[in-house]
Every structure is written in C-alpha cells, then in structure tokens.
Copies of this chain bind each other. A is one copy, B any other.
Amino acid sequence: MQTRFFEDFHPGMTMRFGPRLVTREEIVGFAAEFDPQPMHLEEAAGQQSLLEGLGGSGWHTVCVTARMLAEGLFADTAAASMAGVDEIKWLAPLRSDSRLAVTLTVLDTRASDGRPDHGVVAMNCDVTDQFETLVMRLIGTLTVGRRAAAAGSAG
C-alpha cells in the first residue's frame, strides 16, 4: 500500500479502523495488569458499581484504539506517532465480546513547531461497538512526516 504523508490529511476527512473483538478474558487480563479495580475484574462487583455489570477499564478501550490506529493508520503513514491527547471521554462501559471500531475525523492540519519535516494532524476518534453505541471519544494530535522530507532523504 502507498505511504500516506502529512499532505494527504485534510480537515473533514474520515477513516474507519477495526472492528476488533475484546473478549471477557482480555478485559479481566488487562484490568489485572493495569487497572485492578473490582468492577473490571468480577461480575458481582461490576453490578454494584456505576458500570452496572462487568465493564472493562477505560484504559483498555484506549489501548485497543491505539492498536487499531497502529495497524490501520500508522503502519502505512510516514513517521506517524501520537503527539498528545486533548480529551478522552468514556461514554459507555466496555462489555465482554465487544467489537470495537474507530471512526477518525481529521479536525485540523498545521505546521509542526520546530520540526519542518513533520506536520501536526488534529483528530477526533469515535470508538463504537457492534451496536453503534459510542463507547469512547478521544481527541488528540498526531505528528506525520511530510512528503518533501521523504523525497529529500531519498535524494
């Protein structure tokens, strides 16, 4: 697949990544390692919490999103990486056997302060499950390599 560069991102553009299955075993395993709170580990504790049932860590939703971006976007984009996060909202619990998908919308593109060979892409990622429930919204920025920089390094 052709490499994507900064110049290929435009405000309003959308891309969709996933779906990716998240099993109960993965939810409990992630929580045990990174967010060992009872409502992420046991059904009964989840029922007694605001999640109203076993619900995955919000950070698990973030990490599955990161995986979809790494495979769906960064793998064929020049020198792409997350630069920062401006907002994360967890809007619905992450349930066992969810199939998460990411809809990325480009909000803005701009020059990078101090890195003339990169540009900055501001994006909104809406993460939905197989019922189109909006589970998480993440707004953040990527740095992406410019086409001119790649041409320069090849010449």
Q: List 22 A-B contacts (CB under 8 A).
A: A33-B67, A34-B63, A34-B64, A35-B66, A36-B67, A39-B81, A50-B81, A50-B143, A58-B82, A59-B62, A59-B63, A59-B66, A59-B82, A82-B90, A84-B87, A84-B88, A84-B89, A84-B90, A85-B85, A86-B86, A87-B87, A88-B140
Range, interface on chain A: 20 to 34
Please indicate which of the listed interface residues A59, A71, A143 has the most CB atoms of chain B within 10 Å of its own CB.
Answer: A59
In the bound assembly, the distance between CA atoms of A153 and B64 in angstroms comes to 36
Please indicate which of the listed interface residues A67, A83, A85 has the most CB atoms of chain B within 10 Å of its own CB.
Answer: A85
Taking beta carbons and an 8 Å cutoff, which residues of A are in contact with B?
Answer: 33-37, 39, 49-50, 57-59, 62-64, 66-67, 70-71, 74, 79, 81-90, 140, 143
In the bound assembly, the distance between CA atoms of A70 and B57 in angstroms comes to 11
Which residues of chain B come closer than 8 Å to A70, judged between CB atoms?
A: 34-37
Complex: chain B residue closest to A90, CB-CB: B84
Which residues of chain B come closer than 8 Å to A67, judged between CB atoms?
A: 33-36
Shortest CB distance A135–B (Å):
13
